Chain A
Amino acid sequence: METGELILYHVKPGDRVKSGQVLFEVMTDKIDMEVESPADGVIEQLVGEIGVAIEIGKPVLIMQTDTEVMSFDFGGDAPLPDAPAPVIEPVAVQPAAIETPVVASPVVIAPAPVALPPLTNPREIRAVPKARAIAEDRGIDLRTVAPTGPDHTITVEDVGGNKLSEDQIKRQAANKALIAKGLEMTRSIPQISFSRNVKSGSVELTSVISNWARVLRTRPDLNISPKDGSAVSHVGVAVIIESKYGSALPVFKDPDLQTVSELADLFMSTAKSAHNGKVPLAMLSGATTAIFDLSKYKMNSSAPVLFPNQVTSLTIGENFSGEKIISLTIDLRYLDFYDGAQLLDSLISAL
Chain B
Amino acid sequence: MSDRMLTMAEAVREAMTIAMEEREEVFILGEDIGIYGGAFGVTGDLYHRFGPERVLDTPISELGIVGAAVGAALSGMRPIVEIQFSDFTAQAMDQIANQAAKIHFMLGGALHVPLVLRTPQGSGTGAAAQHSQNLEPWFASVPGLKVVVPSNPADAKGLLLAAIDDPNPVIFLEHKLLYKIPGRDPVPEGATRIPLGVSKVVRTGKDLTIVATGIMVNKSFEVAEKLSAEGISIELIDPRTISPLDTAPIFESVEKTGRLMVVQEGPSHAGYINEVIAQVSGSACFGNLIAPIKRLAGMNIPIPYAPQLEKVAVPQIADIEAAAREIVKNWR
CA distance A162 to B258 in the complex (A): 12
The answer to whether B331 and A155 have CB atoms under 8 Å apart is: yes
User: Does B287 reach chain A (CB closer than 8 Å)?
Assistant: yes
Whether B290 lies near A130 (C-beta < 8 A) is yes
Question: Which chain A residues in 147-168 approach chain B with CB under 8 Å?
Answer: 149-150, 155-157, 161-162
What string of 1s and 0s marks CB contacts (under 8 Å) between B215-244 and chain A? Answer: 000000000000000000000000000000
Q: Contacts of A156 on B, CB cut-off 8 Å? A: 258, 290, 331-332
Q: Give complex CA distance A157, B332 in Å.
A: 5
A150 and B330 form a contact (CB under 8 A): yes
Q: Which residues of A contact B290 (CB under 8 A)?
A: 128-131, 155-156, 161
Whether A351 sits at the interface, judged by CB under 8 Å, is no
User: Quick one: CB contact mask for A120-144 with B, threshold 8 Å, 1 for yes?
Assistant: 0000000011111100000000000
Asked if A129 and B287 sit within 8 Å, CB to CB, the answer is yes
Q: Does B286 contact A (CB under 8 A)?
A: yes
Compute how far the CA of A132 lies from the CA of B290 in the bound complex, rounded to whole angstroms. 10
Q: How far is the CA of A133 from the CA of B284 in the complex (A)?
A: 12
Residue of A130, A149, A157, A162 touching B289 (CB-CB under 8 A): A130
Interfacial chain B residues near A150, Cβ < 8 Å: 330-331
Q: Does B300 contact A (CB under 8 A)?
A: no
B190 at the interface (CB under 8 A from A): no
Q: Closest B residue to A133 by CB, please name it.
A: B287
Choose among B289, B290, B291, B292 the residue with the greatest number of A CB atoms under 10 Å from its CB.
B290
B332 surroundings in chain A (CB, below 8 A): 155-157, 162
Q: Which one of B258, B286, B288, B330 lies within 8 Å of A149 (CB-CB)?
A: B330
Q: How far is the CA of A126 from the CA of B287 in the complex (A)?
A: 14
Contacts of B286 in A (CB 8 A): 129
Query: Chain A residues near B288 (CB, 8 Å)?
Result: 129-130, 133
Q: How far is the CA of A161 from the CA of B289 in the complex (A)?
A: 12
Name which residue of chain A comes closest to B291, CB basis: A128
Shortest B134–chain A CB gap in Å is 30
- B106: min CB distance to chain A, Å: 37
Write out the residue numbers on chain A whose beta carbons fall within 8 Å of the beta carbon of B289: 128-130
- Per-residue interface assignment for chain A, residues 160 to 179, with 1 indicating a CB less than 8 Å from any chain B CB and 0 otherwise: 01100000000000000000
Nearest A residue to B292 via CB reads A128
Which B residues are in CB contact (< 8 Å) with A157?
332
Q: Roughly how many angstroms separate A156 CA and B289 CA in the complex, as a whole number?
A: 9
- A130 near B330 with CB under 8 A, answer no
Measured CB to CB, the nearest residue on chain B to A296 is B252
- Give the one of A128, A150, A161 with max B CB within 10 A: A128
Chain B residues near A131 (CB, 8 Å)? 290
Which parts of A317-343 form the interface with B (CB within 8 Å)?
none
Interface readout for B163-205 with A: 1 if CB under 8 Å, 0 if not?
A: 0000000000000000000000000000000000000000000
**Closest chain A CB from B284 CB (angstroms):** 11
In the complex the two chains form, what is the Cα distance from A128 to B332 in whole Å?
Answer: 10
Within 8 A of A (CB), among B280-309: 286-292
Interface 1/0s, chain B 261-286, versus A by CB < 8 A?
A: 00000000000000000000000001
CB-CB nearest in chain A for B281: A129
B residues near A129, Cβ cutoff 8 Å? 286-290
User: Closest CB of chain A to B278's CB: distance in Å?
Assistant: 15
- How far is A43 from B258 in the complex, measured between Cα atoms in Å? 42
What is the 8 Å Cβ interface bit string for chain B, positions 8-31, against chain A (1 contact, 0 not)?
000000000000000000000000
Complex CA–CA separation, A162 to B292 (angstroms): 17
Task: Report the Cα distance A133→B258, complex, angstroms.
Answer: 12
- Residues of chain A at the chain B interface (Cβ within 8 Å): 128-133, 149-150, 155-157, 161-162
List, sorted by A's number, 22 A–B pairs whose CB atoms are closer than 8 Å. Answer: A128-B289, A128-B290, A129-B286, A129-B287, A129-B288, A129-B289, A129-B290, A130-B287, A130-B288, A130-B290, A131-B290, A132-B287, A149-B330, A150-B331, A155-B290, A155-B331, A155-B332, A156-B258, A156-B332, A157-B332, A161-B290, A162-B332
Q: A128-B290, A150-B331, A156-B290 are in contact. List 17 more A-B contacts (CB 8 A).
A: A128-B289, A128-B292, A129-B286, A129-B287, A129-B290, A130-B258, A130-B287, A130-B288, A130-B289, A132-B287, A133-B287, A133-B288, A150-B330, A155-B331, A156-B258, A157-B332, A161-B290
Give chain B's interface residues, CB within 8 Å of chain A.
Answer: 258, 286-292, 330-332
Which 7 A-B residue pairs are closest in the complex by CB-CB distance? A157-B332, A156-B290, A130-B290, A129-B289, A129-B287, A128-B290, A133-B287
